[in-house]
Structure 1
Amino acid sequence: MRFRRGRIGNGLAVLAGARPDVLAAAPGARSKFVALGGVLLSTGGLALVSMAFAVHMALGVWWPFALLAGLGWGLVVVNLDRMLMVGMSHDSSVKRNMVLAVPRVGLALVLGVVIATPLTLQIFAKEIDTEIVTMQAEDADAYRASLTDDARFAHLPELEERIATSEAVVASGGVADTGLAVVRAEVTASQAALDAAIAVSRELEAKAQCELDGSCGTGDAGTGQAYIEARAAADAQQAVVLAARSDLDDAVDAASSAESRSASLAASSLETDRAELTRLTAEQDRLQANFDATNENAGGLLMRLEALDRLGDRNGTLAAAQFMLSLLFMSVEILPVLMKLLLNFSPPTAYDKLAMLRDSGDVDIEEMAQESRRTVAQAKEELLVMAEKERVDRQKEAILTRRRAALAEVAARREQPAVPAAEPVEPSRAMWDTGPIRELARNAATRTVRSVLRRPEDRVPTSV
């Protein structure tokens, strides 16, 4: 068990950037690096959980796959944090430490914000879900209002009103048609004229009757001149009544015909209007249903962030809690880099001194090795040059020896007297025998090559 703890501690120390060889010589620094390694693992664990929540909320991924994605992100974060820590070696210069620390702390802060956001969303999940329901209802109402203002459905109220009017006209047989006001006015005028004519006729009849009775007018009963004139006026008024009644009948017939035509036209247009209303209403319902289906599933990361922001605007306590939680998670993320920066400001420890000595010793050893390799390579090159020079000298000596022998042979031939030699008898050969020709060509080629290879100053003079 103790051996296992030791291996775990060594692994944490190496994770924090410790060198095992230096750590073995300075075991007092082991606890510091083990603690830093534990902090790195804690940041990686937070990153794992955060990414798992983010993937599950944004994409609806099954939890095991979300955890696998979180594991990959956790490894990336641990590697980044380790890179930030290892790159900050101990330095006593405050300026250099600040220059190295600012970008690293900034990067760690960005990572902290990324990691803290999904965790904060998960902590306030219930409040966010309630707010999302409200936001979805608001979005549905807004979309419904936008459909009402849409140019495709802008004439729906007019169409519904026209259908209602047509239905009333058909149900009343055309009486409800407001467009027949002129025809109905003629009927009313004709009825008023008839009523006036009947009233006048009744007065004239009463006057003629009272003249006949003698109860009015002249006071003389009987069919006198006054009665005859009154009767004639009453009879003339009867003709006016008949004419007015005829005009009224004509106006009524015209109104009835107009109402029938109006009812027929309304019935014919009613079917078309109803079909158009059904089509537009169905299209509007379809668009609304599609939006509602999408809106119900719109619970992704962006909408949850918006819901959390709205909750924070309305509730100061929630906003403060959200800020403190985000600050906590960001602090955990930047803690490794911050601790490394603080350690750099402290005096160098035994581990730091040994690490610098090891590094300087490695540099010296490498420089010596490089110098040795350079010296050996230079010596090898010199040996090769000397060997090549010796080979060239041998070749020159051999050529000079052959040249001196050739000169001596030429000189010996010139000192001997010329003796005529008997001409050899050449044996007869066939026409196809090209042996002598080939031999002559070979000798000529050999002499040509030797003359080309011979230096100009070493050539044998041909004349004395």
Structure 2
Amino acid sequence: MLKRFFIICSGADTDILEECSVGEQNKYAGIGATVFFTAVMAFIAASYALYTVFDNLYTSAFFGLIWGLLIFNLDRYIVSTIKKTGNVIDELIQASPRILLAIIIAVVISKPLELKIFEKEINQVLLEEKNEMTLANKTQIAEQFTPNIEALNSDILALQEEIDTKETEVNQLYDTYIAEAEGTAGTKLLGKGPVYKEKREKHDALLAELQQLKIDNKAKIQAIETNIVKLKGDYDTQIETTQPIINNFDGLMARVNALGKLPWLPSFFIFMLFLAIETSPIFAKLLSPKGAYDFKLDDQETALKTNVLQNKNQREAMLKTDYAINDRIYGDIEKEDELYNYKRKKARELMQLQADAFYKKQKNIL
């Protein structure tokens, strides 16, 4: 049962193969088994590749099954259409397009399995790339907010410096009127005279301005600090919004690119393995000698081709003979007076009817 199934997978004619030896049957069963297991590997590879895209087991398995059946059908077609002619050059020319197609299929099958085999190494590469992308993302977002925050901080420093400058002036006036009262500066008269009062009033006026300036600038600084807090909140929000995009950067294309950054030799050997598996049925047929199955199949096809050519030549001969007979018959009829007189009579009647019809038409017009 299993042997017959593999023979069917090889694309061989089971009726012809049943008449061949057991060794010939085993050869085609082996070719069919290779075709079948190649399709199984294609199903596994496609399912894994699609799972990285859809992240759904059933959807991936469904489309992976379709892909596996497609590869099975292609391999079966490739193997079944290679005919043994006995001429190595002709067979290689005949098989060259099929070998090229087998190489393409091997690439498609091997790549998803490479992604699975080197999954840990790929995850490490992706982690490094995500870290770099995270830092770059924060830098790019910071470039949008940092200038505004720095400008607001500069405004706060300017307001604080304004207060400090005014406070210095007030302190200087305080020292001046105290020194006037003590008699150590100014008029150098001890006591609170007119000059003292004048300097005291000037100090008190500037002190009132300082207090009012502190109130005003404090309100402005609080408003600016509120804007800074809002900008920092917007910065954090944008980081939180964009970070999941970076965290999800592990799709099929990202993994393929990450695989390309790993050493190429292991991937190359895996590809060569699948290439050998994929092309093995083709080379098995090319390298094997022409067996009983090939002779019987060639005999059937040659017999059918001969029968078709015979029927075609016979129909052409019949058609040629029919043309010759018809030419001879009509040549003999052409010389008969009876047929001439009959057609002359009918032609005269037809012309009379046409003349009568024309006369009636003209009469109706008048």
TM-score range, shorter chain: 0.7 to 0.9
Q: Deviation per CA, 1:150-202: give whole Å up to 9, x if none.
A: 3x553124335656x59xx7xxxxxxx21245444443443454465556x36
Q: Deviation per CA, 1:45-92: give whole Å up to 9, x if none.
A: 00011111111112212x233222111111211222233323432244
Whether 1:178 aligns to 2:174 is: no
Whether 1:264 aligns to 2:216 is: yes
2:126–2:255 contact (8 Å) kept in structure 1: yes
Change in Cα spacing, 1:157 to 1:338, as seen in structure 2 (3 Å) is: farther
Whether 1:449 aligns to 2:342 is: no
Counterpart residue identity of residue 293, structure 2: Y
Change in Cα spacing, 1:246 to 1:340, as seen in structure 2 (3 Å) is: farther
Match of 2:338 in 1: 397
- Counterparts of 1:86 and 1:252 in 2: how far apart (Å)? 110
Q: 1:115 aligns with which of 106, 109, 112?
A: 109
CA RMSD of aligned residues (A): 3.9
Structure 2 length as normaliser, TM-score? 0.77
Q: 2:98 aligns with which of 99, 104, 109?
A: 104
Change in Cα spacing, 1:236 to 1:196, as seen in structure 2 (3 Å) is: closer
- Counterparts of 1:42 and 1:114 in 2: how far apart (Å)? 15
Quote how far apart the aligned CAs of 1:329 are: 3.1
Match of 1:294 in 2: 245
Match of 2:308 in 1: 366
Match of 1:74 in 2: 68
Change in Cα spacing, 1:387 to 1:241, as seen in structure 2 (3 Å) is: farther
Q: Find the structure with the greater CA-based Rg.
A: 1
- Counterparts of 1:401 and 1:49 in 2: how far apart (Å)? 85
Q: 2:24 aligns with which of 29, 34, 44?
A: 29
Match of 2:12 in 1: 18
- Counterparts of 1:369 and 1:268 in 2: how far apart (Å)? 107
Counterpart residue identity of residue 178, structure 1: E
Change in Cα spacing, 1:236 to 1:266, as seen in structure 2 (3 Å) is: closer
Match of 2:235 in 1: 284
Q: What secondary structure does 1:154 align onto? A: helix
Match of 1:341 in 2: 286
Q: Deviation per CA, 1:405-440: give whole Å up to 9, x if none.
A: x9xxxxxxxxxxxxxxxxxxxxxxxxxxxxxxxxxx
How many residues are treated as equivalent by the alignment?
A: 352
- Counterparts of 1:53 and 1:240 in 2: how far apart (Å)? 97
Whether 1:43 aligns to 2:38 is: yes
Whether 1:154 aligns to 2:130 is: no
1:105–1:338 contact (8 Å) kept in structure 2: no
Match of 1:328 in 2: 273
- Counterparts of 2:98 and 2:111 in 1: how far apart (Å)? 20
Match of 1:356 in 2: 298
Change in Cα spacing, 1:288 to 1:451, as seen in structure 2 (3 Å) is: closer
Match of 1:424 in 2: none
Q: 2:78 aligns with which of 84, 95, 100?
A: 84
Unpaired runs of at least 5, structure 2? 356-366
Match of 2:360 in 1: none
Match of 2:173 in 1: 190
- Counterparts of 1:402 and 1:189 in 2: how far apart (Å)? 146
2:174–2:203 contact (8 Å) kept in structure 1: no
1:194–1:241 contact (8 Å) kept in structure 2: no
Q: Deviation per CA, 1:358-396: give whole Å up to 9, x if none.
A: 3333322221110111122333444545555566666x4
Change in Cα spacing, 1:31 to 1:237, as seen in structure 2 (3 Å) is: same
Counterpart residue identity of residue 260, structure 1: Q
- Counterparts of 2:29 and 2:99 in 1: how far apart (Å)? 21
- Counterparts of 1:75 and 1:447 in 2: how far apart (Å)? 72
Residue correspondence of structure 1 range 249-260 to structure 2 within 5 A: 249-260=201-212
- Counterparts of 2:256 and 2:9 in 1: how far apart (Å)? 35
Quote how far apart the aligned CAs of 1:288 are: 2.0
Q: What secondary structure does 1:338 align onto? A: helix
1:16–1:82 contact (8 Å) kept in structure 2: yes
Change in Cα spacing, 1:11 to 1:383, as seen in structure 2 (3 Å) is: farther
- Counterparts of 2:52 and 2:107 in 1: how far apart (Å)? 17
Q: Kindly, what percent of the aligned residue pairs are identical?
A: 19
- Counterparts of 1:326 and 1:178 in 2: how far apart (Å)? 71
